[in-house]
Amino acid sequence: MTRQHLIIDADDTLWENNVFFEEAFDKFVAFLDHAHMTPPQVRDVLDAIEAVNARIHGYGSKNFGRNLVETYHKLAHRPVSERDLEVIVGFAERILEHPIILRPGVAETLGYLAAKHELTLFTKGHPDEQRMKVDRSGLAHYFDHVEIVKEKHVEAYSDLGSVKNFHAPATWMIGNSPKSDINPALAAGFNAVFLPHPRTWILEREELRAGDAPGRLLVLDHFGELRAHF
């Protein structure tokens, strides 16, 4: 295979991410201690708040903390104290303190891929927060480029491709999110590798739209399987 441009997602593709947000949510539910709402019902309220706020404020643990506070104000049936809000923000802040846990096979497979192809890490979220995770992951040296954007929509992929001079038929997006990785990359004319993660955030879930896009779509179970295709 000739040298390809491989664009690789980070959260829940290279390392675990959403599971820590889920743990913070579980602590929030226990703290809220709602009289009759079940955890999934509380989750629905939070999801609706996150869907609105992600468009305004973006992603990351700080925004998650803000969304938990808004959910708490909406659902708490006792007077809300400053101390309560500190505890809730603390659930979100502790996400960042968690050590990076790489997904299986990631480091050795990146070593293999980096020797043959041009690698771009492409992640969305708060720039400082994402940069800190990249640094702490110890993976940065495998990548020719690290790009952090506010949203990974079709325009973000088209812009990346034109700025870096990527030849679309030789360009692949590799990631766990149909909404942010696979569908917009295919719509931009690239190929894609879908690596499903069982704990993918609900707001990243979407039907795959391979449809009439010119690119190829591979669906793999594990990051290490990339070796067999590249």
Question: Any contact of residue 176 with Mg ion (CB under 5 A)?
Answer: yes
CB of 11 to Mg ion, least distance (A): 4
Nearer to Mg ion, 107 or 203 (CB): 203
Give the single-character DSSP code of 181: I
CB of 149 to Mg ion, least distance (A): 13
Nearest to 6 by CA among 198, 219, 181: 181
Question: Any contact of residue 130 with Mg ion (CB under 5 A)?
Answer: no
CA distance 76 to 2: 58
CA distance 95 to 10: 16
How does DSSP assign 54-68, residue by residue?
HHHH--SHHHHHHHH
Question: Any contact of residue 147 with Mg ion (CB under 5 A)?
Answer: no
How long, in residues, is the chain? 230
Per CB under 5 A, the list member of 4, 11, 24, 69 interacting with Mg ion is: 11
Binding track over 38-77 against Mg ion, x by CB under 5 A: ----------------------------------------
CB of 110 to Mg ion, least distance (A): 16
CB of 154 to Mg ion, least distance (A): 17
Nearer to Mg ion, 67 or 200 (CB): 200
Nearer to Mg ion, 9 or 118 (CB): 9
Q: Kindly tell me the number of DSSP H helices and DSSP E strands found in the chain.
A: 8, 6
Q: Which stretch binds Mg ion (CB under 5 A): 52-60, 134-142, 149-157, 169-177?
A: 169-177
Residue count at the site for Mg ion (CB under 5 A)? Answer: 6
CB of 30 to Mg ion, least distance (A): 27
Question: Any contact of residue 129 with Mg ion (CB under 5 A)?
Answer: no
Give the single-character DSSP code of 15: B
CB of 181 to Mg ion, least distance (A): 6
Per CB under 5 A, the list member of 6, 7, 9, 185 interacting with Mg ion is: 9
Nearest to 222 by CA among 171, 176, 179, 177: 176
Where do the H-state alpha helices sit in the chain? 18-32, 39-57, 61-75, 82-97, 106-116, 127-137, 154-163, 183-187
Q: SS3 of 174, please?
A: strand
Footprint of Mg ion (CB under 5 A): 9, 11-13, 176-177
